[in-house]
Amino acid sequence: MAKRVYQVWKGSNYFFIGGRLIFGPDAKSLLISLLLIIVPVTVFCVFVARHLRHEFSSYNAGYAILAVAIIFTIHVLVLLLLTSARDPGIVPRNSHPPEEEFRHDFSTSVEGGRQTPSLQLPRTKEVIVNGMPVRVKYCDTCMLYRPPRCSHCSICNNCVERFDHHCPWVGQCIGLRNYRFFFCFVSSAMLLCIYVFAICALYIKVLMNDNQGTVWKAMKESPASVILMAYCFISLWFVGGLTGFHLYLISTNQTTYENFRYKSENRINVYDLGCVNNFMEVFCTQVKPSRNNFRAFVQEEEPRPPLRTTREAEVEMGEDQRVKVEDDLDFGGDLLKISQRHNIEDIEADIRSRGSDVHHHNSSAADSVLGSDRRAPNVQADIRNSSWGRRSGSWEIASEVVGMKSNVTESRSHVVPKDPYQ
């Protein structure tokens, strides 16, 4: 039976409802975030908002306090779910490196100074963004060149477009497709904290007016209000500070990753379109559809011929060099034989021209020929050694072969017959 994409997914994500919901590997931390929202709101509705139902008699306005708290909490939870349970902008990984980007590189080997070809993939390449060159990197895990502003999340093990950061509180990466919902979640949580804090303070004020007491007596009468105010005050520092920081990032069209990594480099921000346009880009543009269809069936790819590795290229080139060297040795040996034959013929002709001293000349010529035969292996061995250093296809005769004729000629010059008239 064919499997679906989410069943063979290579990332570290968790899928639910047949691949319809996707979470990060730390999705369990999402339960903590849910408790941190639901529990305080429940306490607020039971111990604070419920007592304020009849405090505002006109049109039963006290019920509105309870209704707003419940509706606003549901709004925050929906934004949390939209942030953590959707594809943040994952770039589908390739099953093989992009072959069109391969280039042949001849790198010099340490052993023998040989040059061996190897296939190398450029680690970076430049693309044009808003008229400015931007360098993008190659991802070895996903086997692709990351789009601009894309980064590989080591926790989710995915390349995410417009990667902002990995948030453990929502258990998901924050990227192109869920950044808007993340900011709305954080800012709504901040407003919820302000709302709960303000209503708790209002309830203490109502208790003070009803009992004609002090603040301390009112706080003792409603300890839940005090606890909620302290909790909201502490939480407001986190979600409020986070909201302010992301307002700055949106106004300058930066991501958290870019701000922390390139802050000290004083780079020109090629993505900055102006404050208004930056906000329009985040909140008023359509969310791009996911590049992944997690419920689709996996299609089997046809087997591809394996790429030639560096080792195979070295072996192939080594064989070519070995054949070339053998050809050089054969050619050198032929030249040696031709040189020896011509020298021997000259010696025999000289011997025949001197009939009066045949025996003496034959013994001298034989010694000369034997001496040439003894030296021939050494010369040939020298030729064999010298041919290893030749890299080109030149047929240049080694200096040892050229010098051999002069040695044989010198040997012949020593075979000078005695003058019969002396």
Task: Give the Cα separation of 147 and 176 in Å (integer).
Answer: 12
Q: What's the DSSP call for residue 4?
A: B
- The CA angle 358-360-363, to the nearest 5 degrees, is 105
DSSP E strands in 123-171: the ranges are: 124-129, 132-139, 144-145, 151-153, 158-160, 165-167
Closest CA to 290 of 6, 1, 3: 6
Task: Give the Cα separation of 281 and 278 in Å (integer).
Answer: 5
Single-letter amino acid, residue 408: V
Which 3 state secondary structure label does DSSP give 250? helix
DSSP string, 180-196: HHHHHHHHHHHHHHHHH
Q: What's the DSSP call for residue 100?
A: G
Q: Which of 150, 167, 173, 193 is catalytic?
A: 167
CB 45 within 8 A of CB 197: no
CA 20 to centroid of chain Cα atoms: 28
Q: What's the DSSP call for residue 284?
A: S
Q: Which residues contact 100 (CB under 8 A, 6 or more apart)?
A: none
CB 350 within 8 A of CB 414: no
Task: Give the Cα separation of 63 and 49 in Å (integer).
Answer: 8
Instruction: State both tokens at 184.
Output: 């709305």
Question: Does the active-site annotation cover 167?
Answer: yes
Taking each helix axis from N to C end, the angle separating 399-414 and 310-352, rounded to the nearest 10 degrees, works out to 20
Instruction: Mark out the alpha helices in 59-133 (DSSP H runs).
Output: 62-84
Task: Give the Cα separation of 45 and 49 in Å (integer).
Answer: 5
Q: Which residues pair with 126 in a beta bridge?
A: 135
CB 278 within 8 A of CB 175: no
Which residues are part of the catalytic machinery?
Answer: 167
